[in-house]
Structure formats: structure tokens, C-alpha cells
């Protein structure tokens, strides 16, 4: 029989959890940035969206990369939230309820 405080697996260190979210999303953002900007020029994108803001091409690439990183990091974070083991949140039933 398991103890009431037993988990499916031990908790991971915070740095490992953060790294598991940020590293794959960094990689995916890099790939997405390369594919997107292979077809889209940041200056033309600026001209059709925010033509009153003056940015150079490198700033457009940088902004695009961080936007892709934010999107992919949020996707990784939501996946991590959904895959957490239920034993962390559901208290075991008392012996009277079984």
C-alpha cells in the first residue's frame, strides 16, 4: 500500500521545469523564424502594418523571433500544465470513503 503523500514520481527542480518549457520553444521559435522570414521581408511587413514606426530589418527579425518564442513557450507551458500528474492535486481517499 502506498503512503498518503506518495506521488507518481518525485517533483522536478524548478530549473528543470523551466528549461523543459523554454529550450524546446526556443528551438521551435528559431525554426519558425527562419521559415517565416524566408518568405516575408520585415520591412514590407512593417509597411503594411505599422508604417509610422521606423525599425530596421534586424529589429524586425528580432521582434519576430521573440513573438514566435512567446507563442511556442505558451504552447509548451500549456502542455506541461495539462500533463502534470493528477496525484499532485487529488488528495487520496480516506479509509472511511473507500
Give per-10-residue mean pLDDT for the chain (98 aa).
57 85 94 96 92 91 96 92 73 62
Provide the residue count of the chain.
Answer: 98
Give me the pLDDT at residue 7, please: 54
Cell reading at 82: 495539462
Give me the pLDDT at residue 81, please: 85
Give me the pLDDT at residue 13, please: 86
Give me the pLDDT at residue 85, please: 72
Give me the pLDDT at residue 88, please: 65
For the segment 71-88, what is each residue's pLDDT rounded down to a tens digit?
A: 999 999 998 888 877 666
- Report the largest interatomic distance among the alpha carbons of the chain, rounded to a whole angstrom: 69
Evaluated on CA atoms 73, 78, 81, 82, the torsion sign reads negative
Give me the pLDDT at residue 90, please: 67
Cell reading at 59: 529589429
Give me the pLDDT at residue 51, please: 86
Q: Which stretch of DSSP H or E encloses residue 94?
A: none
Model pTM score: 0.73
Amino acid at each position: 500500500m502506498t503512503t498518503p503523500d506518495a506521488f507518481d514520481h518525485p517533483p522536478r527542480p524548478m530549473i528543470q521545469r523551466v528549461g523543459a518549457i523554454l529550450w524546446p520553444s526556443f528551438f521551435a521559435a528559431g525554426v519558425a523564424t527562419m521559415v517565416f522570414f524566408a518568405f516575408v521581408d520585415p520591412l514590407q511587413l512593417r509597411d503594411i502594418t505599422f508604417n509610422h514606426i521606423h525599425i530596421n530589418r534586424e529589429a524586425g527579425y528580432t521582434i519576430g523571433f521573440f513573438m514566435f518564442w512567446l507563442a511556442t513557450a505558451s504552447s509548451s507551458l500549456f502542455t506541461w500544465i495539462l500533463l502534470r500528474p493528477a496525484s499532485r492535486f487529488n488528495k487520496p481517499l480516506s479509509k472511511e470513503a473507500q
